[in-house]
Copies of this chain bind each other. A is one copy, B any other.
Amino acid sequence: MTTTSMKDVARAAGVSVGTVSNVLNRPEAVAEETRARVLAAIADLGYVRNDSARQLRAGRSRTVAIVVLDVANPFFTDVVRGAEPLVESAGGVVTVCDSGEDVRRERRHLELLEEQRVLGLLITPVDDSSASWIERLTGRDIPVVLVDRGAGRHPHCSVAVDDVAGGRLAARHLVERGHRKIAFIGGPSAIPQVADRYEGCREVCAESGTELEVFATPGLNFQAGREAIEAMLGREDRPTAVFCANDLVALGALQGLTMHGVKVPQECAIVGYDDIDFAAAAAVPLSSVRQPRAQLGRTAAQLLFDEIAEGGDHTHRNVVFQPELIARASTALEL
C-alpha cells in the first residue's frame, strides 16, 4: 500500500498539486467549489500530509525540544507542562528529551536535534561542558533558551530561579529553628543548581557560625537520598537537620530516617527543594523551597518565540525568579 501523495489527490480531484497545497495551507485563496472537491478527494483517499517533505521544503521543523535532567522528576514535568500550551498555540510540537544528568546522553540528543533542524530548544544543561555544543545550535540559527540556569556570559536567553537565594532561605530557616549542625545532601557538584544551592547554604552557615557537613551524592534522586542517610547515621554527633538539593533526595532521606527510627522533625529536620506535589503529600509533609515551575516553562517558551519573532535584532533576556520557602511539618520544631 503505497502512501498516497498530493499528486494522487490532485489527479482524483482533477486539479494541479499546487491547488491541493493551497487548499491545505491557504484555503481562502482557492474557489469554494474547487476546495470542496479537493477536500472530498482527500477524505476519499485518506490522504495525510507528509511532514518530512514539508519540513525539507520549509528548511525547519515545527518541533520545540525540551532537554531536561530527569523526566521522572516532577519538577521537570511541571516545567514542560508550563511550556506546552504556548508552544502548541503557536502551532508547534513539543518533544521532551531526557539527559539523565549524563553529558554523553545530552550530547547525543543535541546532535539528533540538530539533524532534525528543530525550531528551538529549551534546555537545562547538565553542566558547563555543554556550552560549546549548545552554541553550535545557536550558530545554526536555532534559538536556545536556558532553563533553570542563568545564562552567565553565554549568548542565550534564560529563565532561572535564584538558587543561591534559595539555599540561603533554606539554611536561614533551619538556623532560626535553632539548628547548629546542618547536613547538605546533593550532587554531583558540577550541576550548577547543586553548587548554587550549596553556596547559599554555606554563606548563611558561615555567617551564623553553624556547622555544615556535605554528603555528596552521585545523582539527584530518591535512591541517592536514602544512601546519603545511611552514611550520615553511621557518624557520631550527627547533624540535627538536613538540607537536600531537591525533593526527590529529600524524600529518600525522609524514608531513610524513618526506616532507622529517627523521628522527623523531632530528631532530624528536613528541608527539600522544588516543592513538588509529593513534598506536601509525604506523611511528614516536607518543608521545601518552592520554584515557580510552570511559570519557568511558560516564560522559557515565551522567550523562545520572542526570539524567533524578533529575528536578527533580538537582544537576549535573562529572567530571574525568586524562590520562596514553604514551611511544613518536617521543620516544625524549635530546638
Contact = CB atoms under 8 A, between A and B. Distances in A.
Interface string A91-121: 0010110000000000000011011110000
Contacts of A277: 222
Interface string A39-79: 00000001011111101100101000000000110100110
Contact of A115 (B51, B80, B222, B278): B51
Contacts of A3: 59, 117, 140
Q: Contact size class for A?
A: 35 or more
B48 A52 contact: no
A53 B56 contact: yes
A49 B1 contact: no
A255 B328 CA distance: 13
A102 to B, nearest CB: 13
Contacts of A51: 112, 115-117
Instruction: List the number of copies, as a whole number.
Output: 2
Nearest to A84: B98
Interface string A227-258: 00000000000000000000000011011001
Contacts of A93: 112
A281 interface: yes
B46 A117 contact: no
A56 B52 contact: yes
A54 to B, nearest CB: 8
A63 to B, nearest CB: 9
Contacts of A136: 46
Interface in A279-322: 280-285
A139 interface: yes
Contacts of A74: 72
Contacts of A95: 95
B117 A52 contact: yes
A141 interface: yes
B278 A258 contact: no
A47 to B, nearest CB: 11
B52 A61 contact: yes
Name, among A48, A72, A141, A283, the residue most crowded by chain B CB atoms within 10 Å (CB to CB): A283
Contacts of A284: 283
Interface in A140-155: 140-141
Contacts of A252: 281
A109 B71 CA distance: 19
Contacts of A61: 52
Contacts of A56: 50, 52-53, 56
A59 B77 CA distance: 32
Given A77-B72, A141-B1, A281 B251 contact: yes
24 contacts: A1-B139, A1-B140, A1-B141, A46-B136, A48-B111, A48-B114, A48-B115, A50-B117, A51-B115, A51-B117, A52-B55, A56-B56, A71-B71, A71-B77, A71-B80, A95-B95, A222-B277, A251-B278, A251-B281, A254-B281, A255-B281, A281-B282, A282-B283, A283-B284
Interface of A: 1, 3, 46, 48-53, 55-56, 59, 61, 71-72, 74, 77-78, 80-81, 93, 95-96, 111-112, 114-117, 136, 139-141, 222, 251-252, 254-255, 258, 277-278, 280-285
